[in-house]
Structure 1
């Protein structure tokens, strides 16, 4: 029996590297698209991308510049182009395939929803927000929708903040806790939607197998926490007894110094994975306490999916 083929675009980052390893462990054949020569196809080669995609069962696009930076004009353009232009290139290649991928899962972001402290935002009832990050997410999803791929199911995956051993957002939080600054940030009431990288991988495999899942899908743990609980759990997982809170004005000043945006910690992201839950997906890491404790201990848990 021939192995299933997955194509990962943007396979060199934290999530892409994890996916590449896990797909191989699960018996898939992995092809990659990226900027550098080790990838099976490069972004400036439409023919090469088409060749790599032809006959694949699944395309997973994770390409996109990090948003952990100051949103000056140059960085805004890079953030937008790295998402929209790569999706556009994949659309051209899929359209040219004699045997296109059956499913195309394209990364999007849970930050597409509005600042929400009053209730969770599902794919059906959630309200989209406004501002630069939301504009990028809309353009990203619009580009996927515009791709001419009648024989390919296209799923924008609205991903919450991803936690993992070798990347994600936990290092800055841990560093603050070590310095005694691991208290709540700003008001502390803003919600923190997250997903363990293993559950993100498992959700992609699940969506690939569930042909009835269409349209945007939220990838987030069903149990969001507020910032107070987040920082408390970070401290507990590290054995740090206390942390000084950081007011919003100090975060603004600090963000300029470390060249990032306070939106990354002050926006209330409350993302509900309603479609995954209704389709029967089960989370390996539903609680943040369990996820953080496992990461703090370097626990590599992922039972086989097969």
Structure 2
């Protein structure tokens, strides 16, 4: 039986490391595009050689958005997404046997601040502001790539949640997706609602990201951008209540907007990450019959905390 080959670009972060491990566990051969890998950004011919003969390309490359949006960081966030996507397009165009599918990361933040109704791939309204413009340019770079015969899908990811590994914990409070900051706040008694608490929180467990990628690869009829989100959406008040419940913490002090904005400056991030209402509907996946392993926040939180406890006891 011929081994399936996947190329992962930008696999050094939380999601990429998880996908790398899971692809290997499922019997795939994994080729990496990264600064310390055989194929590096800037070597388009080398990238083309690495991609040739593979079955699937998953591109996650991009600077973390968990930073202050000063001009230098904004330029790097923008370039790290659009330039790598464009280079992959050029590399694929030079392949003799390009991969069948190219799944390129995007973000559910492309939609507007929505507290009134969900935003699906079919009728979602795009928003405005820096994060939205980055997402639009990212998807435009994918659409403009001249890759005949390669199916291209923009993965509009909602907030990805998963257990922090030991490496993630050493990398700081952002390691392991978004769970650690919520856990830390809750354990210090600050696990109440953030600002009004009515902003919607669309999320997905990292295992369901992996399963959705496999599902999309198998379902050739699905085209265009695809929302990666859990079918259950909660508001911020309910999110923090469920986090406290999972941690067995009885109460949490609410955090006013002004304090969130001040705290964001202190930890060098943007308040948008918790203040924007993200209500992302995964309509294409649902209509195609995708089955989520973690469809509810309570099951996802329990799985994450169990995995983290297991990781601690195995040290």
Secondary structure, counterpart of 2:30 in structure 1: strand
Match of 1:119 in 2: 117
Q: Deviations over 1:73-121 (max 9, x none)?
A: 0000010011001101100100000011100000000000000000000
Match of 1:227 among 224, 232, 236: 236
Which residue of 254, 258, 261 corresponds with 1:249?
A: 258
- Displacement of 1:289: 0.7
SS in 2 for 1:168: coil
Q: Does 1:182 align with 2:180?
A: no
Q: What is the Cα deviation at residue 40 of structure 1?
A: 3.2
Partner of 1:46: 44
Aligned-residue Cα RMSD (Å) equals: 1.1
Q: 1:300 offset after TM fit, Å?
A: 10
**Aligned twin of 1:143:** 141
Three-state SS of the structure 2 residue aligned to 1:59 is strand
CA distance in 1, matches of 2:63, 2:138: 13
Task: Tell me the SS of whatever aligns to 1:119.
Answer: coil
Aligned counterparts of 1:41 and 1:224: Cα–Cα separation in 2: 39
Matching residue of 2:226: 217
Which residue does the alignment assign to 2:79?
81
Residue 70 (structure 1) aligns with? 68
> Where does residue 11 of structure 2 map in the other structure?
11
Tell me by how many angstroms 1:297 deviates.
1.6
Q: What do the CA deviations read for 1:44-90 (whole angstroms, capped 9, x no partner)?
A: 21111001100111000011110001100000001001100110110
Q: How does 1:81-100 map to 2 (within 5 A)?
A: 81-100=79-98
Q: In structure 2, how many angstroms separate the alpha carbons of the residues matched to 1:144 and 1:264? A: 25
Aligned to 1:222, the other structure's residue is in SS state coil
Query: Separation in 2 of the partners of 1:194 and 1:2?
Result: 35
Distance in 1 separating the partners of 2:247 and 2:158: 23
Which structure 2 residue ranges, 5 or more long, are not aligned? 165-175, 311-315
Q: CA deviation at 1:136?
A: 0.2
SS at match of 1:297: helix
Select which of 153, 156, 179 maps to 1:170. Answer: 179
User: 54, 72, 91: which one pairs with 1:56?
Assistant: 54
Deviations 1:228-255 (A, max 9, x none): 0000011111111100000111111111
- Name the CA distance, whole Å, in 2 between partners of 1:173 and 1:107: 24
1:28 aligns with 2:28: yes
The unaligned stretches of length 5 or more in structure 1 are 302-306
- Count of matched residue pairs: 299
**2:103 is paired with a residue of what secondary structure?**
strand
> Aligned match of 1:273 in 263, 270, 282?
282
CA distance, structure 1, for counterparts of residue 272 and residue 95 of structure 2: 40
1:299 positional shift: 6.9
Which aligned runs of 4 or more in structure 1 are off by greater than 6 angstroms? none
